[in-house]
Chains A and B, each alone.
Chain A
Amino acid sequence: MNKAQAILNRKNEILKKAIDVDFLKYKQSDIAFDYEKMMEETGYPIEEAMRIQSSLGVGSTPMLELKNINSLIKKLSAEGFGARIFLKDEAGNLSGSFKARRAAISVYHAKKLGYKGVIAATSGNYGAAVAAMCAKLNLKCIIVQECFDSQGIYQPEIIEKARAIEAYGAEVVQCSVGPELFVVFLDLLDKTGYFNASLYSPYGIAGLETLGMECVDDIRRLTGKDPSAIVVTHAGGGNLTATARGAQKAGSNCKIIAASVNLHGLHMASDQDFNRKSFTTGHTGFGFPFAIYPDRSDVIYSAARALRYMDRYLLVKQGEVFYITEALAKLEGMERGPAGNTSLAAAFSLAQHMSEDEIIVVQETEYTSAGKHYNAQLSFAKNNGIEILIGDPRNEIAGTNIVFPAHPRDILAQDVDLNQLRLSYLRQQLKMHPNHSFTNEDLIYMAHECNESVEWIQNALIELKGVGHETT
């Protein structure tokens, strides 16, 4: 047996030592677990999360109306249409992104439990967030990131994140392309005895519920009404899940709309494709697989379960997000992103089809810098042979070209058929449990997972299996 397999065989044992959640306590069957009970018993109450974050320089970020962008939306919309967009400036958190909310609670929890350090596997802003919180709470920190291809070429955005992590005093372990990063992560947890500051733990999600609540509270304070929709950049599912839960806890029934960059055709584990994408997160390469199968993460049961909360799922192209990133800088004086602006690009399109009385919240920004800036990404893309074109973004082919919209009216977010996503979720369950007889408990669980009725699940299973299924 090789080294990787030997470590993977000890996965559950290693993860159990590295996080104090007894996940299996919530297991109901091979399919189902009690998600709400897990969140209730292991997360943090939202008021406590807010107190912890406030003491760590996290949260209570500005909510800004994008007045010039909203004027533009009005000009592009039919009479009576053109919802107003408000943007939650999460770049104001320590470390420069909303990920600080997740990190604050995870690292606080690790400290409380007496761990000497924490480890997180992330190529994104979460690494800088965990490093910053560890700096404040005097814990050691290792961030494991996928960073360079087999030619030794680094993605510029990930170099910047490594720089920020190191600036906050943490250690960075950089990996070449491939899912074996998870083996390295387990190996490090095992050897150091550090805490697993997973993006997908109940602590991380509890920490981010404060963002959903603030979004609703801010809009009520500023406008006297509730937002109609919150648009959330979607990748691993935590951002969407937690925002939705926080908004619900604020008593809002606003729509929760996911947005991802469409990277159709690029394989996330491909060495050759690695440096052909201009977005390292917030894209379909994470958004689809994590919606369909959330438990692919680094905990036994993921607390991030996006399909439960998604009312719509919109896709935008790389060129559309870059255009809106430029618009945000030039019209609103905000140099942010780019990945965090995925939801803004989707909202820009969405707003034109909503009433002028309605309000859309775009719930995050992220700091920009060398490497992250879209000029850096576009220059890198050009050096890798990707064409930069101006035209109809619907003609963009990820990995081949980036198409900037010729006119802002050409920014047209595309709807994902959520029923197809739900069917994919069920197909995944059938694939993993081919001989399983679904109990009523399983059906209820899958109905919650898909935000659908038990009857819909029953019919879908019949359709997928081609024959009637048995229940016990």
Chain B
Amino acid sequence: MLAIKGDWVLIEQLYLRADQRQSNIPSDTRQTDFHLRIKGFLVDEKCVVGDDCTIKTKTERIISGKLIDIMPNYEHSFGDYLVETAYIEHQLRNLLSEDSHE
């Protein structure tokens, strides 16, 4: 995948290597690198996903990192239909339609 100058892209920066992380954090976290992901407009003429590039962010910072996505979009959703919670509405309506205290 090739991005060209001016494309809206997502880059990743290796901010701290695992061995540079704070000592007072859980051991599972300490074994991982600390990354940043930032979006911006590609400053370079072109760049392939996986290569290093430079971008201009929304606040006009010029920063560099590895190109990981071109024209990143949002794919989060309202989730799946959940059979587990289907009882709630029925239960609440039934309780409200009962005449007196339980």
B76 and A156: CB pair below 8 A?
yes
Contact size class for B? 35 or more
Within 8 A of B (CB), among A155-184: 156, 159-160, 163, 166, 169-180, 183-184
CA distance A423 to B27 in the complex (A): 28
CA distance A322 to B15 in the complex (A): 36
- Across the A-B interface, the 6 shortest Cβ-Cβ residue pairs: A379-B79, A375-B79, A150-B32, A171-B58, A371-B76, A376-B79
Chain B residues near A163 (CB-CB < 8 A) = 74, 76
Stretch in A37-45, A56-64, A326-334, A437-445 touching the partner: A326-334
Chain B residues near A409 (CB-CB < 8 A) = 102
- Write out, one digit per residue, whether chain A residues 184-201 have a CB within 8 A of any chain B CB (1) or not (0): 100000011000000000
Chain B residues near A222 (CB-CB < 8 A) = none
A380 and B38: CB pair below 8 A?
no
Within 8 A of A (CB), among B54-89: 57-61, 74, 76-82, 84-85, 87-89
A373 and B28 contact, Cβ closer than 8 Å, known pairs A117-B59, A327-B92, A330-B92: no
- Please name 11 pairs of A and B residues whose Cβ atoms are closer than 8 Å in the assembled complex, sorted by A: A140-B58, A170-B58, A174-B37, A178-B32, A323-B88, A330-B93, A331-B96, A370-B78, A376-B76, A390-B87, A407-B91
Chain A residues near B15 (CB-CB < 8 A) = 175, 180, 183-184
In addition to A150-B32, A174-B37, A184-B15, 14 A-B residue pairs with Cβ atoms within 8 Å of each other are A2-B16, A4-B21, A142-B59, A156-B77, A166-B58, A171-B59, A180-B15, A183-B15, A184-B36, A327-B92, A378-B85, A382-B80, A390-B84, A404-B84
Chain A residues near B26 (CB-CB < 8 A) = 267, 269-271
Chain B residues near A176 (CB-CB < 8 A) = 32-36
A175 and B59: CB pair below 8 A?
no
Binding site for B on A (CB under 8 A): 2-4, 68, 71-72, 74-77, 79, 117, 140-142, 147-148, 150, 154, 156, 159-160, 163, 166, 169-180, 183-184, 191-192, 267, 269-272, 322-323, 326-327, 330-331, 370-371, 373-380, 382, 388-390, 404, 407-409
B2 in contact (CB, < 8 A): no
Chain A residues near B88 (CB-CB < 8 A) = 323, 326-327, 330, 404
Chain A residues near B39 (CB-CB < 8 A) = 166, 171-172
Binding site for A on B (CB under 8 A): 15-16, 20-22, 25-26, 28-29, 32-40, 57-61, 74, 76-82, 84-85, 87-89, 91-93, 95-96, 98, 100-102
Chain A residues near B29 (CB-CB < 8 A) = 150, 177-178, 269-271
A375 and B28: CB pair below 8 A?
no
Partner of A408, one of B22, B28, B77, B92: B92
